Structure 1
Amino acid sequence: MSYEEGLSSTITDWLFFNSWWLLLPFIMLLVVAAFIVAFVLLLYMISPLISPKPLKLNGAHVVVTGGSSGIGKSIAMECYRQGAFITLVARDEVSRNKQNINVVLCISVDVSKDYGQVESVIKQCQEKLGPVDMLVNCAGTSFSGKFEEVEVERFRSLMEVNYLGSVYPTRAVITTMKERRMGRIMFVSSQAGQIGLFGYTAYSPSKFALRGLAESLQMEMKPYNIYVTIAYPPDTDTPGLAEENRTKPLETRLISETSGVTQPEQVAKTVVKDAVQGNFNSSVGPDGYMLSALTCGMSPVTSITEGLQQIVTMGLFRTVALFYLGSFDSIVRRCMIEREQSKAADKRE
């Protein structure tokens, strides 16, 4: 071999060796990407195997608290359309004619005051219609106002109605559900139970509390084939919203207008479907989906697919949320400046 041939061979070997190291990162990246794709496909394949079996509403006994109007009434009607036997529990007197629904049983009781009374009426409805297959905790009330202007009594009453009003009925049905190894429990929270907003210092904490209850209860009940759903409806066209708007501060109203108002029938269809499927989180609309992904934290997932979606979208949604929060802060500052300028003008006059 000549000197020139040996030199050429050496250079070729050197280039091949160094080219291999240059390509190695790309090869590793391809291997990792292929592994991730294969892993995701595997998760999608086994996801249906670990998801809960849907509850059949046809012939099931569904108890709805707060069912005299609004979302509770729409949920009752949606369950009835799917063949369920309905028990309506409400603080106000309930009648079949008022509901425009052929409910089987109507009970008037305040679910937030006396647990013994709640337990008694739940026992009564189970004696007439059989064990409760699904409990919908929809009893609640809302109120908005600036923190220092809200009466102290209002903080207590909202916690009683919105939180204890869900604890008591759930406590009354849970033993029978565990014995039967089946059941669904829904807590109707609010988007104000995912994010604290101006004017909701009394209302939001009472709805945030439901999430802690739902997460803890789901961990206890899952081995018994009982699944908990927590629903986060947006502003919904109900008598409760109309009442809330009477005292809503300007800042709160302007922030609320960024997402619009949803019809109770739409909310009912979505949350009933999620409860039947055994989904833990139930949200309505794009804003609701984004909020649920952003605030998922350590909350349980019903399927691996849901978990993957949260992982993939978290960063993007957090970026969008920062713009929303910036706009909310801008609204609050603008209202404050306008109010101070108005006061200053009044003093000059």
Structure 2
Amino acid sequence: MSWMVLLAASAGIALVVAFLLLLYLASPLASPKPLSLSGAHVVVTGGSSGIGKSIAVECFKQGAFITLIARNESRLLEAKKEIEKYSINDKQVVHAISVDVSKDCADMERVLKQAQEKLGPVDMLVNCAGTSVNGKFEDLESSRFEQLMAINYLGSVYSTRAVVATMKERRMGRIVFVSSQAGQVGLFGYSAYSATKFALRGLAEALQMEVKPYNIYVTVAYPPDTDTPGFAEESKTKLLETKLISESSSVCQPDHVARVIVKDAVQGKFSSSVGTDGYMLTILTSGMSPISSIAEVLEAVILMGFFRFIGLFYIASFDSIVHRCMVQKEKSEKTD
């Protein structure tokens, strides 16, 4: 009797392995056709510095025409000159527009209409404009929550609305929302910031379901702490708890982050992550998100439980940091 049970179990395992192998081999059939950036028109908001500028450089190196959007005109023009050094042919153009993406949807539609008249229809939009604030929930003014939602979320909504209709008419396009690892897991001091980055995920999932029949693919990028001017400025006033939690992972370079995001976007991947921690977070937060290949499903099914177990140690470590800092502050207040 035991040998029959063993035989049945072996046969079951063999069938499962064969099925998974078949799905894995068939996975390329589920993937969208990669977008060529040679001659493509790429719009990058928040492109005057940091990850946005690096993304513009990476696309320009691949032969794209760039529309660069940012608020600070002087930094924008400096970025334009820097990006132009990486041209691979004399036809490429970098078109710079100084505008606040969070102010007015009609304004964004106007400037992007002008950009498309100069460089042609937008093939890829990268929503990278954003800002951050670090502080405890009760210490932040309500206006800061409104400000971050306007820039980080509504700015992406306005830019996307300005190009999506044309993309649907052409039956092609890529839309990228640059979120953050703080848009996958809420951390101490990021109650205002994380909410805006989580919001981008919800927008991206709903939008992808609408535009996929038109051969348009949405990518949400979740970069880790990255060595940018914005990160340096934030670090000056970062809360101790946030700083200690952030030190559990390394700081990435913007050029590396940009290469990953551009590669995933042109391939039509929904989620784009950087490094081991980013990969684990993407698996853990995959939920009902769109898939780019069957291989992604297999990875999530196989690794979800294991990564959840590891994640518990991270959470316990973060909670311990917060508790220690609270105790130290209470002792310091009593001493004073």
Question: TM-score, normalised on structure 2?
Answer: 0.96
Query: Greater CA radius of gyration, 1 or 2?
Result: 1
Distance of 2:271 and 2:5 partners within structure 1: 40
SS of the counterpart of 2:83? coil
> 1:235·1:262 contact (CA, 8 Å) conserved in 2?
yes
Shift, 1:97, TM fit: 6.0
Could you say which residue in structure 1 is the equivalent of 2:14? 34
Could you say which residue in structure 2 is the equivalent of 1:55? 35
* Matching of residues 195-214 of structure 1 within 5 Å: 195-214=185-204
> 1:55·1:277 contact (CA, 8 Å) conserved in 2?
yes
Shift, 1:27, TM fit: 1.1
Amino acid at match of 1:105: H
Amino acid at match of 1:286: T
SS of the counterpart of 1:101? helix
Could you say which residue in structure 2 is the equivalent of 1:277? 267
> 1:73·1:99 contact (CA, 8 Å) conserved in 2?
no
Shift, 1:41, TM fit: 1.5
From 149, 156, 179, give the equivalent of 2:139.
Answer: 149
From 46, 49, 55, give the equivalent of 1:75.
Answer: 55
From 89, 92, 95, give the equivalent of 2:77.
Answer: 95
SS of the counterpart of 1:24? helix
> 1:65·1:72 contact (CA, 8 Å) conserved in 2?
yes
Provide the aligned length of Structure 1 versus Structure 2.
Answer: 326
1:307-332 deviation line (CA, Å, top 9, x unaligned): 10011010110011000000000000
Is 1:188 the counterpart of 2:168? The answer is no
From 144, 169, 180, give the equivalent of 1:179.
Answer: 169
Distance of 1:265 and 1:211 partners within structure 2: 23
Amino acid at match of 1:35: L
Amino acid at match of 2:333: K
Could you say which residue in structure 2 is the equivalent of 1:10? none
Is 1:85 the counterpart of 2:65? The answer is yes
1:61-119 deviation line (CA, Å, top 9, x unaligned): 00000000000000000000011010101111121566511152000111111111100
SS of the counterpart of 1:142? coil
> 2:37·2:62 contact (CA, 8 Å) conserved in 1?
yes
Is 1:343 the counterpart of 2:323? The answer is no
Could you say which residue in structure 1 is the equivalent of 2:221? 231
Distance of 2:142 and 2:250 partners within structure 1: 30
Shift, 1:246, TM fit: 2.3
Gaps of 5+ in 1: 1-20
Question: TM-score, normalised on structure 1?
Answer: 0.92
Gaps of 5+ in 2: 85-92
CA-based RMSD: 0.9
Which contiguous aligned blocks of 4+ residues in structure 1 show a shift greater than 4 angstroms? 96-99
Distance of 1:239 and 1:149 partners within structure 2: 24
Amino acid at match of 1:86: I
Distance of 2:234 and 2:94 partners within structure 1: 31
Distance of 1:330 and 1:59 partners within structure 2: 52
Shift, 1:45, TM fit: 1.9
Q: Report sequence identity in percent.
A: 68
